[in-house]
Amino acid sequence: MFDTVLVANRGEIAVRVLRTLRESGVRSVAVHSDADADARHVREADTAVRIGPTAAAESYLSVERLLDAARRTGARAVHPGYGFLAENAAFARACEAAGLVFIGPPADAIELMGDKIRAKETVRAAGVPVVPGSSGSGLSDDELCAAARKIGMPVLLKPSAGGGGKGMRLVREESRLAEEIAAARREARGSFGDDTLLVERWIDRPRHIEIQVLADGHGHVVHLGERECSLQRRHQKIVEEAPSPLLDEATRAAMGEAAVEAARSCGYRGAGTVEFIVPGDDPGAYFFMEMNTRLQVEHPVTELVTGLDLVEWQLRIAAGERLPYAQEDITLTGHAVEARLCAETARLGTDEHTGRPERVDFLPSAGTVVLLREPTGDGVRTDSGLVEGTEVGTAYDPMLAKVIAYGPDRPAALRRLRAALAGTSVLGVETNAAFLRRLLDHPAVRAGELDTGLVDRDAHTLVRTDVPDEVYAAAALLRHAALEPDAGAGPGADGTGGGSGWTDPFSVPNGWRLGGEAAWTVHHLRVHGHDPVAVRVRARPAPGGGTGVREVRVGDGPPTEAALHTGAGTGTGSGGDGDLRLVWAGVSHRFTYAAADADVRWFGRDGEAWQVRDHDPVEAALRGRTGAHGGEALTAPMPGTVTVVKAAVGDTVAAGQSLLVVEAMKMEHVIAAPYAGTVTELDVRAGGTVAMDQVLAVVEPLAEEAAPEAADTPRESGEGAR
């Protein structure tokens, strides 16, 4: 076994690999960019080396700097994790040339299986069924269009050089082929430096099932059963489980043997995954899609049902050990389900075709983790790269953690995972925890009736569009308590300020006035992504004197009795962070709570999180930005980089016409004209960075008779991940 291993990655996978290194008695070396100088993987490693600035190209993707870090720390081997250089044949060869062991497959296998076109040809020759599609590499746009017409619509465009959904486009209409090919090439070029595409037949309502394989350096290959990965959003996996609820033992054995043959066909070594697409109504008709020549994000579910540590076996195989298992020794026990926790915001929009609120935009989020609660308990595992104080930016992948649950059967595992997500609280950054929890309770998911389009079809039913009144009430009572004399003592049991001694009665915000009912104190609050709300608070006189509980009115709602109680939580953030209990109309609600700054508070419950900001309506009116004739200001929906600018000041644009593209965390978002009009302001350039809610452009409306037809139809690209 190696004495020192360098982990050439970051985030939760780096922390995951470090755990096995620590348990194996192997000294660990972490690497980090400037953005990750205080990250969890840096804190947990035995040694850490700065390898460059925030930009991945100058840090985590710099082969030279990674090899230098290994040389300086005496590492004998390099574990690449997943993403970044994990499937880079040149990096594997560079490690070998530097006298380092690359903990992964041979460079030739990476190169072969990394080229989807050659991979299909190779496994087809080994007898593995493949999806019908184009043949040959380096096809021109015209040749791709011709191949698509020959296959028949719909088709799937895929980058040859990459995976994980990046650059993939489902095309149902032949008229859109040219536009989608151009978009797929642009994203593939940006993600992989290679815009080679292939085209495959699209199988409607398919299931995505993959087989985990292990191969040693002595010719022995086994499979560890399958994982169901059909719950995807824009070709990006978000929930995975093992085993699949679809397969019977005979199909599992047949697919497993096909995966073993695929691994043998490229001389594989280490842990790898062979991915298949399976018609939901005919699981026996499975087709090879690709082979991932690395550890998968979803490997924990396989570990839980087999009892094997895949990272440990990666290390042992790389060190030259033989696999001691025959295929019949591998058994699957129980059931495991994993959910990917990502930094993102879900917003419900109107579908451009139906006009109904059926489109969901998943936008990257960013911020500082001010309070963190990760679930624990029987059958629950959390793989995470987070600690309180972590700065989540848009420079890297949005996945923050994985929550995994194990049970004796599938219903038990699903129940445990839903409960674990309800107990997850990441305040300071918006995440998809609540969305995942609702997805796991979807009737089709509970029944195991899955397909890769389920999430996209039903996402609009899984996004909560309202903010509970009790969130506004808790925020208003906290703000009200802060106005009380001696507010530093914190709110009391009835929501009033703490402290002791004499208080000037005229400084207390209790709404008292001579000869009349107490007046309301108004708190203007805004939850991120929603319109401002006025919340009114006043003390309700108690029988025999005293203030008693508070009355709260949220917006135009009725006065409601409310009392706020604070309690010591396990959070370590500042500002009195921890737990709150709000009694609202006689019902007790518990929240996690943290103050990001003087004007911003975060509240969490059941996986949901709300950012509540003080709102000044006068200041907002003064800062409002419109054109002289009522033009609309278009703002950045997320922090990111402007990649394409398609308009200029003075241009006349059609309703829905694309003006520019903002990219963050491997996702593109098109900024389109809300109506026919004239661009009167455009304050950005290609390559420039923008902040969330920054004004990008202003479009002033045209008279109806002057409105042009749309020159193009905007669409949001799929998000890519590992």
C-alpha span between 372 and 645 (Å, rounded) = 38
Tell whether the model's pLDDT for residue 211 goes beyond 70. yes
CATH of the domain spanning 115-461: 3.30.470.20
Q: Could you tell me where the beta strands, DSSP code E, fall in 335-473?
A: 335-342, 344-349, 359-364, 367-368, 371-373, 380-384, 391-392, 399-407, 425-427
Q: In what order do the strands lie in the sheet with 47-52?
A: 47-52, 27-33, 4-7, 77-79, 101-102
Higher pLDDT, 80 or 621: 80
- The CA–CA distances, whole Å, from 85 to 92, 146, 340, 617, 715 equal 9, 34, 21, 49, 30
Secondary structure class of 299 (helix, strand, coil): helix
**Mean of pLDDT values over 692-703:** 84
Q: Could you tell me where the beta strands, DSSP code E, fall in 107-263?
A: 155-159, 169-171, 197-201, 206-215, 221-233, 236-242
Q: Residue type for 97, please?
A: A
Q: Where residue 258 falls among pLDDT bands split at 50, 70, 90?
A: very high
C-alpha span between 425 and 722 (Å, rounded) = 24
Tell whether the model's pLDDT for residue 508 goes beyond 80. no
Q: How many CB atoms lie within 10 A of CB 125?
A: 9
The tally of CA atoms less than 13 A away on the side-chain side of residue 224 is: 25
Fold of 4-103: Rossmann fold (3.40.50)
Strands 344-349 and 359-364, how do they pair?
antiparallel
**Mean of pLDDT values over 149-153:** 90
User: Per-residue pLDDT tens for 653-672?
Assistant: 998 899 999 887 666 788 88
Tell whether the model's pLDDT for residue 490 goes beyond 60. no
**How many separate helices (H) and strands (E) can be counted in the chain?**
17, 38
Tell whether the model's pLDDT for residue 675 goes beyond 90. no
The tally of CA atoms less than 13 A away on the side-chain side of residue 478 is: 29
Token digits for 633?
């200001």
Task: Specify the pLDDT at position 134.
Answer: 83
Task: Specify the pLDDT at position 504.
Answer: 65
Nearby residues of 380 by Cβ (< 8 Å), 6 or more positions away: 403, 404, 405, 406, 416, 417, 420
C-alpha span between 536 and 511 (Å, rounded) = 11
Q: Are 258 and 300 in contact (CB under 8 A)?
A: no
User: Per-residue pLDDT tens for 285-321?
Assistant: 899 999 999 999 999 999 999 999 999 999 999 999 9
Q: Where residue 399 falls among pLDDT bands split at 50, 70, 90?
A: very high
- List the domain boundaries for the chain: 4-103, 115-461, 473-499+507-618, 624-706
Q: Could you tell me where the beta strands, DSSP code E, fall in 72-129?
A: 77-79, 101-102
Strands 608-614 and 600-605, how do they pair?
antiparallel
Q: Where residue 161 falls among pLDDT bands split at 50, 70, 90?
A: confident
288, β-bridge pairs: 130, 276
C-alpha span between 564 and 355 (Å, rounded) = 42
Tell whether the model's pLDDT for residue 546 goes beyond 60. no
Q: Residue type for 403, please?
A: V
Nearby residues of 479 by Cβ (< 8 Å), 6 or more positions away: 523, 525, 614
670, β-bridge pairs: 661
Mean of the per-residue pLDDT values of the chain? 88
Strands 695-701 and 677-682, how do they pair?
antiparallel
Q: How many CB atoms lie within 10 A of CB 146?
A: 15
Strands 77-79 and 101-102, how do they pair?
parallel
Q: In what order do the strands lie in the sheet with 689-690?
A: 667-672, 658-664, 640-645, 689-690
Token digits for 572?
């370590």
Task: Specify the pLDDT at position 132.
Answer: 83
Most confidently modeled of 153-162, 246-255, 685-694, 695-704?
246-255
Backbone angles phi, psi at 613, to 5 degrees: -120, 140
Architecture of domain 473-499+507-618: 2-Layer Sandwich (3.30)
Q: Where residue 510 falls among pLDDT bands split at 50, 70, 90?
A: low
**Mean of pLDDT values over 247-259:** 96
The number of residues making up the chain comes to: 722
Q: Are 170 and 153 in contact (CB under 8 A)?
A: no
Between the two ends of the chain, the Cα-to-Cα distance in Å is 28
Nearby residues of 572 by Cβ (< 8 Å), 6 or more positions away: 388
Q: Where residue 627 falls among pLDDT bands split at 50, 70, 90?
A: very low
C-alpha span between 438 and 440 (Å, rounded) = 5
Fold of 624-706: OB fold (Dihydrolipoamide Acetyltransferase, E2P) (2.40.50)
**Mean of pLDDT values over 329-352:** 90
C-alpha span between 691 and 367 (Å, rounded) = 12
Q: Are 77 and 69 in contact (CB under 8 A)?
A: no
347, β-bridge pairs: 361
Q: Are 608 and 464 in contact (CB under 8 A)?
A: yes
C-alpha span between 186 and 372 (Å, rounded) = 37
Q: Residue type for 43, please?
A: R
Q: Are 454 and 444 in contact (CB under 8 A)?
A: yes
**Lowest model confidence (mean pLDDT) among 3-17, 113-127, 327-341, 540-554:** 540-554
Q: Residue type for 394, please?
A: T
- Residues 355, 356, 361, 367: what is their CA dihedral angle, to the nearest 10 degrees? 120
Tell whether the model's pLDDT for residue 571 goes beyond 50. no
Q: Are 432 and 344 in contact (CB under 8 A)?
A: yes
User: Per-residue pLDDT tens for 429-475?
Assistant: 999 999 999 999 999 999 999 999 999 999 999 999 899 999 999 99
Tell whether the model's pLDDT for residue 486 goes beyond 80. no
Token digits for 400?
């923050």
**Mean of pLDDT values over 387-406:** 94
Query: Does 115-461 match 624-706 in CATH topology?
Result: no
Q: Are 266 and 109 in contact (CB under 8 A)?
A: yes
User: Per-residue pLDDT tens for 1-12?
Assistant: 999 999 999 999
